[in-house]
Chains A and B, each alone.
Chain A
Amino acid sequence: MKELRSVGTSVRRRDGDGHVTGQTEFVDDRSFPDLKHLHVVRSPVPHAEIEAVDTSQAEAVSGFVTALTHEDVPNNIYTILRLIDIGPNEEPLLAEERVRYQGEPIAAIVADTKRAAMEAASKVEVDLTELPAVFDVEEALEPDAPTLKEWGTNYFEYEGHECRRVRYGDVEKGFKEADHIIEERYQTSPIEQAPTETTAAIAKPESNGRFTVYTNTQALYFSLDNTAMIVDVPFSKLQFVGGTVGGGFGGKVDVIVEPLATLAAKKTGYPVQYKFTREEEMQVSSPRGAWRMYYKDGVTDDGEIVARQVTSYADAGAYNRHTPYAVTKHAANVGGPYDIPNAKFDCYCVYTTKQPSSAMRGFGVTPASFAVEGQMDKIADELGLDRWEVRFKNAYQNGDVTPHRKEVEDATLIETMQSAAEMVGRDLPPEYATMSSFKEQDNEGDSRV
């Protein structure tokens, strides 16, 4: 049998030499004869009706090749998870009648150089009639808020409900039995992933009728699927080349540049590069969303949580991207790694007239953890208890069931906290120092030690 000896040793990176010599090939390190450049005309306002788009001035710019509007897009629906039927289909590749965030793509210019494309894009005249904007998740749910979606609401519907719901035990009964009610409002901010290499793709028409697409996407097959559907070519006509990504952190999971680059390559017959400027990366690429979370915990005198109610609002921005999925993940995590016997969670995916938010490092879970741990500290502080002990007291163990009815099989919180305590030189009381995620077999019920 082959001996496997890598664990515990340092193994040299396969791409290490390429990185330190600068010879690793990122998307725009590739050059092709006749490479054209694409730049997008974006909405200058957060919410407006589009009355007219006039590209005639742009056409006069030296180096101009072509302009694309929604009329050039065979199937103007961009839905990341469309292939696996996760909709609804609500985002256009290029806006048709309405724009819903500042920076939304309206048209695209292809030119000989990036500079010419940018100059021509600046000469496209877009006639807009502004509509009221809404930037706050709770305001967006008010009856008089401007409606962003064709279906008449500003929220994503989960199985007929206006939010992702979790119901477990009897939260009202839990509150009655509690000695204390601890409430807090938590708010996180959007965070830009800010990869050092901006989002980019080059689409190159091949002589056999196929397209080779070089991309720095983090999600090669989401991109291939969407591009094929949007451009209306069989999947077999596209070859995507990726894997070299100059930083992503979730910011390159959405399908952003490949469909337009491929469409432009198809229309012009030239290889076309669409690479975000740094401004675009910061202003229109999808950041980590902002979340607002209201927590209400029922707690006993000795710090045991007996009921938790959470109402939370994810700011999806103008379009879904991955946020409906993130909200589901969030709903499974607002209880935290703690044993919550009675729970009621209402988690909303809300649309506002802001740039769409999407994935970033544990998205949906990260804001939940922020609120959960803030809440644990608050419980300890208000009851005059030790912050470590409140966490040990409530820590879930294997065999416990979470509010979304998942039996815990891989708990590590107790051991993680024990290691952390050791690292910071914190002495734990014996009952917590010897506690385990594995409940003792001969103890019944909820006995923890």
Chain B
Amino acid sequence: MIDRIPSGFHPFVLPFLAGMIFVLSYCVYGIIKILVQLPGEDRRRFYLSLVTPKTVLKNIRDIFCDCLFHVKLWKRNRLLGYMHSSIAFGWFMLIVLGHVEVILFLPHRIRLFYYPIFFNYFVAETDSTIQGSLLFFLMDFFLLVVLSGIVLAMVKRVRSRLFGMRRTARPSLTNQIGLYCLWAIFPLRLLAESFTAHISGGSFLTVPANWVFRQFLGNDLNMLPTWWAYSIVLGVFMVVLPFSRYMHIPAEMMLIPMRNAGLKIRNARKGFARVQVYSCPNCGVCIDACPMSVNKANIKDCTVYLTRQLRRGNERRITEISDKCLLCGKCQAVCQVGVDGPGIRILNRAERNYALKPDYSSIDGTAIGRASAGGRVAYYGGCMTQLVPSIGRSVTSLLEKAGIDYRWIDRDGGICCGRPMWTAGRLKEAEEIVRKNEELIRATGAVTLVVSCPICYRMFRESYHLPDIEVVHYVPYIQALIAEGKLQVEHDDICYAYHDPCELGRGCQLYEEPRQLLSQVVRLSEAEKNRAESVCCGGSLGSLSLSFAQRENMTRAALENLYHSKADAIATACPLCQATFSRYADRPVRDIAEIVDLHAKANKQNKQAI
């Protein structure tokens, strides 16, 4: 293998060089800007994680699995997974092998960073070795892999349903330019390499193509236009990259280490939030997932459009999209990048200023708490349980049957857990409510706090500081009571479909416990979409602007998903879900506590104890 062009340069590399220099400097500028925007504590934490071997290994693994192999997409749909990983991994391998070729054959040229990209133009094959043929074979093989991915991408544009996607995001202008450039890059590379294959050598793809082209385009001068075209398209792609969805390629490599470092979004527009926004690949998986998308008018309120508007700085739409969301968290659960749509929305809500601030100083948490002191176990129903009293009755009935010494600390009204205030973006006010409630709960003197509302439970887990008190949702608590033999349950043949409440499932990762508990007393069948992909009931307090009329379609769609299981009744573990479903359901909707209570009886020993 020898250098065909002694100077090692040809003007056609210039468009590529310009594009590459532009995109690299843009990325360096972006990284510095984001690091500066991070709060000092987060920055230190991030740097520390970059020198911690365990995190570094995790970063490398995640970057390979998520960015190159797209493991999450494979799990969603094989065709979709193959399409993305073939383009990403194939392109990555072409770049890596290009460098290997230069290092092996022309080590003195490695400083010219366009060489690995345009290697075939600059070399002439003098002899053929196994090593060389293997490299050429691999180059052609990975080019074929990428091309197959490109063909699939073209098919997906017209038939996205084949890839398991009903709707895809509408591409913006820059996204379209980027897309067409990406589609053109690899066919042009094949053409360019084919035109030079009789000089530089090639393999199973480029050599036969070269033979065909030389039948009618015999002149060697014909090779230049294709190399120019290849370089120009690469250059254009690099220039539009920062302004299109393809920015997700560099941004995701920043997002993964930041997430592994344990950073949280602290500002709606800066630092980590910015990385998340740029990491959104605009694939539109969140559109089908979003419960709001059953209303055609709400399709543009999904996370993919939020990130787009955040990049454009369209304040009117940002406010609108942020306020409308139910915060069910499904977009984050299905997102292969893991963009925290709900988190970004809450912080965008928090940007607003409210002239009238609430004042909770008159609330005496300790006094309220003392009034219900005495039990080792405190039961906190929460506001929503008060609206669905049957849940409170069932939970307390179960506690009584098990002979537990408990107090219902908010039977006659208490303090809200603070989560509704938090999701409305009024974080300081929510903190104040939390502090009051902490006082209240400490004053009860209980060691265990049983909660029956997942909304409260999530807030207790995430924002409360109650070091000596164990906070449990009633599902694991009742499970433990049954396991200890304090409660005896009978099995019935009624079939229930279990609806995973957003806050309990995606919010607190309790998926299996409710199912285990339910299957001890009844037959269980699964909804079409369940666990992390369960459909929000539409009643969520997360949305600030959705009206009842708009929510109705969402509730009906969530019910259809549950009817799919052909169950006799619906079980859930959230008072809000139950209240919402009961409005439109054609079959009974019951809380797990009610179902278990119907099938539970007290152990004789417990009765004696009471």
A, B assembled together: no
Residues of chain A touching chain B, judged by Cβ–Cβ distance below 8 Å, are none
